[in-house]
Structure 1
Amino acid sequence: MPSSRVSTGHSCSNTLLAATKDLPPSWTVRILSEIARPSDAPAVDALTDAVLKVPALLTELSDALRSRVEARFLQDAGSGDAERVRRILTLRAESARSEREKQDVVELLERSLGHRRARVRHHAHRLLARYAPREHYLRATHQLLSDADPHTVRRAIRVLSFGGQVESTQTLASLLSHREPTVQRAAREGLLVLGPRAIAPLTKAAAHMRPDHREALFEVLEELRARQL
């Protein structure tokens, strides 16, 4: 078992870290920010936990400590438990100020659309709707059409169809033969929402679709053409 370190100004002792564990987050930040070095990993971990509880405390840290805490956020965003990752994504999005920080947040949220937990993917998608430019958000949404979670796929279909993303028509057409009937229905409804603009790309998709998958597509085409009359 590693021995306790003595606080020398270069690192925080295990005793001190244990003593701050049950304090209010503001006290933890106040104490540790005075004595912790950016290289002191246990102290950075404690500061990270405190900031996640009270995000406004991030502004109380020195630039060096804030940089280390934010680096820890990035590390945990890829491997932490779902609720922790959700808090990190929210904090990063809400605390971004410069254009570079905002761009970094959008990139982090896009990466999080591939997180192993659906709850994280949903949260990242909701934050993208708030913090990314509309066209950027819609393009990012397209990748969720191949998500393993049917609810996520249905949500993406709705966003893209009501967002008028005709570019997604052929992918939506492929979902007419999805293994989940609820996704099939959502794809059909989404294509109808896109309206007559979907006719040309649907006709093109039919030429490359398996014969046993064409019936549902032809039904959608027939209804769209009827609406033009």
Structure 2
Amino acid sequence: MTTPADQPLDDALRRADVGWLSRRLDARLCPPAVFGRLIRHEDPRLRYLGLVLLDERVTSGRTGDAAETAELARLLPMTLEGSPEALLVLARLHQRLGPYVPGSRRPSWRTAELPVRVRIAWLRAELTNEPTVIRQEPRGELLYQAVREATVTCAHRPAQLVDELVDSGDPVLRAEALRLAREGLHAGLLAPALVRGHVIRLLGTGDGDGDGGSVGADRGGVVAAALAALRERTPPEPTRPPSRQDLLTLARTGDPARIHQALTRLTEAHTGPAADRDPDLRDLIDVLLHHPKPGIRLHAHRASRALLDRGTYLHHTSILLADPQPDLVRTAIRTLTHTVWPPAIPAMTALVEHPHPTVRTTATEALITLGTRAVPALTHAASHTRPDKRPLYEHLLHHITTTDSA
């Protein structure tokens, strides 16, 4: 039965109003049924929005008890449909919700024709849920990149993941095992005795050292760092949980694993629904959006959505319009288009000259979607750009004005 409170949502879903839904739906408060209606909608834009909102819900740590988490996991599609961005979000959701997915099923990504970055994401989702996958996976750049991009805090079985990497006998994977062991030690997820055993075991091998290549040098550096971490770890773990100030300091000064952990804990500690007004938190996220690691920039952006007010979140989203990673730029464009945030329109207009073709295409589509709201920025850009670039803006202006008049 539809209640009066449901009617605006029903109407927005019926007309596939992505902008209205993006503005009104709060990922932290959405019931699973709303996620389901979005994810199963016939319009691919709404399916993508549903996945993005569900990802924000899971990232925020507000998945409720085990029963609600399992209910959210049952919403995950088992088919690979949509844009590469949608498939990346879906892979991330399978990575995070893997233990709750019925039968631990995943889409058949190995037989699908997917971009390399999407295949890497799906392989990472597999090995962080079931580390024994490493035993059968062919050694090569796909596996190496998936492991390099993994963090110990995202592994559901961190000790087993490190064990499998050590037992692989592969020098690249063993170097990554030491990195993850060190991260796990700092995060309190792995016991010092376990990490010490791996370090001692690998010190007795010559992986990667025989040819004088970079793998051996890298491994030596990681071993030294792991030994240093063991020395630093001699005091017992503190009995009290870290304070908010501890977490802010950790996010400012820690390595990527600690930053990720601090942001996650800050998000989990937020009781909401009111936005966090702490200027130190706002400034911290602003700084992290310029971090050299794209994973940290993405996690900081999600934390902004979960913790801060809408205007600050959209300002942070606009920062990503200048991100060096095309995928993050495209995500920012789509978010700012769906939410119709006027201050970002001039920066989005400039992206029609972006060096990456997919960014140019996404920016062009966004400006057409914005319609007459983009006309002032396009007119200004057309009058100030180089003559050889002016037709880009004039063509868009003509398309928007003729479509609007029609």
Q: Which of 98, 115, 125 is the matching residue for 2:291? A: 115
Aligned counterparts of 1:121 and 1:45: Cα–Cα separation in 2: 32
The answer (yes or no) to whether the contact 2:323–2:329 under 8 Å persists in 1 is: yes
The answer (yes or no) to whether the contact 1:73–1:88 under 8 Å persists in 2 is: yes
Q: Which of 355, 367, 376 is the matching residue for 1:200? A: 376
The one-letter code matched in structure 1 to 2:263 is L
The one-letter code matched in structure 1 to 2:264 is T
Alignment correspondent of 2:326: 150
Aligned counterparts of 1:213 and 1:100: Cα–Cα separation in 2: 42
Alignment correspondent of 1:93: 267
Alignment correspondent of 1:84: 258
How far did residue 66 of structure 1 move?
4.0
- 1:160 and 2:318 matched: no
Alignment correspondent of 2:247: 73
Alignment correspondent of 1:56: none
How far did residue 79 of structure 1 move?
4.4
Alignment correspondent of 1:124: 300
Aligned counterparts of 1:45 and 1:223: Cα–Cα separation in 2: 66
The structure that has the greater radius of gyration is 1
- 1:213 and 2:389 matched: yes
After TM superposition, the score normalised by the length of structure 1 is 0.66
Aligned counterparts of 1:145 and 1:116: Cα–Cα separation in 2: 15
Report how many residues are paired.
176
Change in Cα spacing, 1:179 to 1:100, as seen in structure 2 (3 Å) is closer
Change in Cα spacing, 1:71 to 1:225, as seen in structure 2 (3 Å) is same
- 1:172 and 2:348 matched: yes
Extract unaligned runs of 5+ from structure 1.
1-19, 24-40, 48-59
Aligned counterparts of 1:100 and 1:220: Cα–Cα separation in 2: 37
How far did residue 75 of structure 1 move?
4.0
SS at match of 2:268: helix
The answer (yes or no) to whether the contact 1:92–1:105 under 8 Å persists in 2 is: no
Aligned CA RMSD, in angstroms, stands at: 2.9
Extract unaligned runs of 5+ from structure 2.
1-190, 195-231
Aligned counterparts of 1:154 and 1:176: Cα–Cα separation in 2: 12
Q: Which of 346, 358, 362 is the matching residue for 1:182? A: 358
SS at match of 1:211: coil
Change in Cα spacing, 1:100 to 1:225, as seen in structure 2 (3 Å) is closer
The one-letter code matched in structure 2 to 1:90 is T
Change in Cα spacing, 1:133 to 1:120, as seen in structure 2 (3 Å) is same
In terms of fraction of residues, the more helix-rich structure is 1
